[in-house]
Amino acid sequence: MQNKKTKTSEAIQSLSRVFKFELWLRFYFIQDNEDKLSINLDDQMLEKLEKEYGHLSKLAGSMNHKEINPEICRKAITDHIMNEFDGSVYEIGLVPRILDNRIFKTEIQLFNTWVSLHEDQLDRKVLDFDKWLEIFDEWKKSESAQKIGLTLDAQSVMPKHPGSQKDN
């Protein structure tokens, strides 16, 4: 049986992958139809996603051809994570703890920062999701990424309200 630290680390990677995948979908496949945003994937792309990314294709399918906004995206991610992981891959209750985990939150913020900083390069052509992860992992090794990560991590443990001693 895996120790608690290994299981937590594995869960952080697995769950953060879902968030990253959703951002990748929105980055490349969002369309604006009469002021309504939607993700539009054809059957061929959905088959490719299923073949290459397994359960993540279910997330894509659940969002496909539907109007999206930040709340709908959050709900799709949360529903997917709870259905795929909570009580099946990980013991019941671990998923909510991971979603509130400081390291998890920093990873997601760092990924979002990476996408923002490299938007022009990423937008040149559609890159596979695995390629995004590969490039991101390489970038995380850079000095500038490590500084950003430390800053994000420090911000996540700072009190939210003056005088508050509670951290995340």
Note the pLDDT tens digit of each residue in 19-33: 999 999 999 999 998
In angstroms, rounded to a whole number, what is the distance separating the alpha carbons of residues 82 and 84? 6
Q: What is the DSSP letter of 67?
A: B
In three-state secondary structure terms, 11 is helix
pLDDT bin (cut points 50, 70, 90) of residue 160 is low
CB within 8 Å of 90: residues ≥ 6 apart: 7, 11, 98
Spans of all domains in the chain: 4-157
For 37-56, how does the pLDDT look when each residue is reduced to its tens digit (9 = 90+)?
999 999 999 999 999 999 99
For 66-114, how does the pLDDT look when each residue is reduced to its tens digit (9 = 90+)?
999 999 999 999 999 999 999 999 999 999 999 999 999 999 999 999 9
Q: How much is the pTM?
A: 0.88
Question: In whole angstroms, what separates CA 47 from the centre of its chain?
Answer: 21
Beta-strand (E) ranges in the chain? 30-33, 36-39
pLDDT surpassing 80 at residue 157: no
